[in-house]
Amino acid sequence: MTTPAAEPRKRLFIRTWGCQMNVYDSARMADVLAPLGYAPAEAPEAADMVILNTCHIREKASEKLFSELGRLRDTKRERAAAGQEMVLAVAGCVAQAEGAEITARAPWVDIVLGPQTYHRLPEMVARASRAAGTVIETDFPVEAKFDHLPETVAPPGVTAFLTVQEGCDKFCSFCVVPYTRGAEYSRPAAAVLAEARRLVAGGAREITLLGQNVNAYHGEAVAGGGTWGLGRLLRALAEIPGLLRLRYTTSHPRDMDAELIAAHRDLPMLMPFLHLPVQSGSDRVLAAMNRGHTAAEFRAVVERLRAARPDIALSSDFIVGHPGETAADFAATLSLVREVGFPQAFSFKYSARPGTPAAAAPHQVPEPEKDARLQALQSLLRDQQAGFNHSRVGMTLPVLITGAGRHPGQIAGRSPWLQPVHLPGSLALVGREVPVTVLAGNPNSLSGRLAAGDVARSNQPSEEPAPA
């Protein structure tokens, strides 16, 4: 009797840029291709298929694609000379926005696919290896994507992402997302719960719900008709045994409704950290950006959140130099930052994106002015982050251990406020939430040591013994 020869493994390399949703999507593309025999490759040189999952949010983000494509043309030639194939695909938001430009500038690309078409990848791979010329798929059948993606194949880590909502209807003046990700769509609550249970069964202990406007979530209710908002969904997720922590991102200040704020009050496992982009502290600029709220309304949302969950820490996104932003407008942003306090933040120079209203607006801010404003803002934000990290010294915090640290004998985890935490300890603690006394606050992380006792949480799996 002979055993059939194993199908030769093909290798897949995916490079991901952009937001966490792209990270999630890259994992799902790997899941779609796994049944075709694709296993992960360490580097593009060793891959039979390379996918570049791209971001279009700022000019620099898209430029990275074209420099990478130049390098991959050489890799593809070298592999061809050695008799090896390399299917090259460009996915993500640049593919959606600039599909035609990609095929014109880089005709060696085999597949261009938009974010809503990933479930059709196997069919595109087959077409690409049959046909000469590039296969382009950039339609917008959003429901189809989630209906037809296979269940998660690769085991999740201790921390996992779960997309619950995709797309955006808000059309901020500067932003490409409504054009690249399409209209807002929420997955049914039952599908989200089923995926969360699978992730927990696979070892995930912290789940971050993802959406471009995650708190605009309004998915079909599990039963009884109607829809659930994000607050209701979080309550249902909090019931899953073994799940220790919940987070969600990215939220819009306009969609922080009462039910969601109450979830922060009632669910200890909903972590006291929220990324809530405000972009600017000036009402003039907020109006020009079409954000739909004022600086005072943002402050009021923050107050309600703090009343519900006093230990909540906020993170945010800021844009400096939006068209029309004056020195006084920028000063209003600095005042808002000083007043609210952001232990973590991302800040960017405005970058004109083709096709967005702000790109064609008058009064573009000169580059040197944008540079100066960004420096001033970042220096303030850095101080706030360092101050917050330092303020944790001496506290004993629940830390979810996620893996090995940088040095031998060291493990790493996350604080409730998403700070990386390093401590001496055993890898046997991976997946557990343990009490850690903070000994030092560094600019971007904390270090500490295990404290005695256990973290009291109803969902803590009980089969393992408490750490010594």
C-beta of residue 308 within 8 angstroms of C-beta of residue 258: no
Nearest Cα residue to 16 out of 90, 117, 109, 112: 90
Residue 150 assigned to a binding site: no
Residue 138 has a CB neighbour count (10 Å cut-off) of 17
What is the per-residue binding string for ligand F3S in 293-312, x denoting contact by CB under 6 A? --------------------
Residue 308 assigned to a binding site: no
Q: Which residue in 29, 86, 93, 230 binds ligand F3S (CB under 6 A)?
A: 93
**Concatenated DSSP letters for 272-305?**
SEEE---B-S-HHHHHHTT-S--HHHHHHHHHHH
Choose one: 13-21, 80-88, 198-206, 343-351; the region binding ligand F3S (CB under 6 A). 13-21
What is the per-residue binding string for ligand SAH in 281-320, x denoting contact by CB under 6 A? ------------------------------------x-x-
C-beta of residue 269 within 8 angstroms of C-beta of residue 225: no
Cα 88 from Cα 113, distance rounded (Å)? 11
List of residues contacting ligand SF4 (CB under 6 A): 168, 170-172, 175, 177-178, 212-213, 252
C-beta of residue 386 within 8 angstroms of C-beta of residue 441: yes
What is the smallest separation between the CB atom of 355 and ligand SAH, expressed in angstroms?
11
Closer of 67 and 379 to ligand F3S (Cβ): 67
User: Is residue 215 near ligand F3S by the rule CB under 6 A?
Assistant: no
Residue 175 assigned to a binding site: yes
Residue 16 assigned to a binding site: no
Nearest Cα residue to 351 out of 57, 84, 26: 57
Closer of 175 and 399 to ligand SAH (Cβ): 175
**Concatenated DSSP letters for 98-148?**
HHHHHHHH-TT--EEE-TT-GGGHHHHHHHHHHSSS-EEE----HHHHHHH
Cα 15 from Cα 44, distance rounded (Å)? 9
User: Is residue 65 near ligand F3S by the rule CB under 6 A?
Assistant: no
Q: Which does 178 bind (CB under 5 to 8 A by kind): ligand F3S, ligand SAH, ligand SF4, none?
A: ligand SF4
Cα 120 from Cα 248, distance rounded (Å)? 28
Phi, psi torsion values for 85, nearest 5 degrees: -85, 155
User: Is residue 102 near ligand F3S by the rule CB under 6 A?
Assistant: no
User: Is residue 22 near ligand F3S by the rule CB under 6 A?
Assistant: yes
Annotated binding site for [4Fe-4S] cluster: which residue ranges?
19, 55, 93, 168, 172, 175
Report the interface residues with ligand SAH, using CB under 6 A.
Answer: 57-58, 174-175, 177, 212-213, 250, 252, 277, 279, 317, 319, 348, 350-351, 353
